[in-house]
């Protein structure tokens, strides 16, 4: 049996800003060198015991591993230390796609602290609930994960 499904292709972009009471170098280190220390348990898609891996160089990956199971979250497109990282990822149909996402994390000095700017551009079959869920997820991960971790250091 063969089926054909045609959907509208669209693009959505949004931006989040999170102010962190730590210097920019500390925030950069938290993102690039200590991601496994603050990545929240609810964001381990492969379940308990999985390990998140981040390779912060062009061509590197942000992935999750659990034994023989694996999930490629993103491929690193560009790194400009200590300022920004650009990542590209894909969403399979069973998870709200098909879609591609381009995620940019920018670390900026802001007063006595740092502003983390999260810019996400998603294109493909983009549903409103997927965008809302993704945006809320990034906010939770970087506020309850990275921000709390870096500020506690």
Instruction: Evaluate if pTM is beyond 0.75.
Output: yes
The H or E element spanning position 140 is: helix 128-140
Look at the domain 18-39+77-152 and name its fold: Alpha-D-Glucose-1,6-Bisphosphate; Chain A, domain 4 (3.30.530)
The predicted-structure confidence for 107-122, as pLDDT tens digits, reads as follows 999 999 999 999 999 9
What are the residue boundaries of the structural domains of the chain, listed by start? Answer: 18-39+77-152
Q: Which residues contact 107 (CB under 8 A, 6 or more apart)?
A: 24, 27, 28, 31, 82, 83, 84, 114, 115, 116
| Mean pLDDT calculated for residue range 12-37 | 97
pLDDT digits (tens, 9 = 90+) for 73-94: 999 999 999 999 999 999 988 8
Geometric angle at alpha carbon 16, from 13 and 22, rounded to 5°: 150
What single-letter DSSP state applies at residue 4? Answer: -
């Amino acid at each position: 049996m063969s089926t054909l499904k045609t959907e509208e292709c669209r693009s959505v972009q949004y931006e989040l800003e999170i102010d962190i009471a730590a210097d920019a170098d500390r925030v950069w280190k938290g993102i690039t060198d200590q991601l496994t220390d603050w990545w929240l348990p609810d964001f381990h898609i492969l379940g308990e015991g999985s390990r998140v891996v981040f390779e912060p160089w062009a061509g590197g990956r942000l992935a999750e591993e659990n034994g023989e199971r694996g999930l490629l979250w993103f491929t690193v497109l560009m790194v400009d230390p200590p300022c920004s990282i650009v990542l590209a990822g894909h969403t399979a149909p069973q998870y709200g796609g098909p879609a591609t996402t381009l995620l940019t994390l920018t670390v900026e000095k802001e007063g006595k602290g740092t502003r983390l700017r999260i810019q996400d551009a998603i294109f493909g079959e983009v549903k409103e609930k997927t965008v809302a869920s993704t945006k809320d997820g990034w906010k939770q991960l970087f506020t309850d994960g990275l921000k709390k971790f870096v500020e506690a250091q």
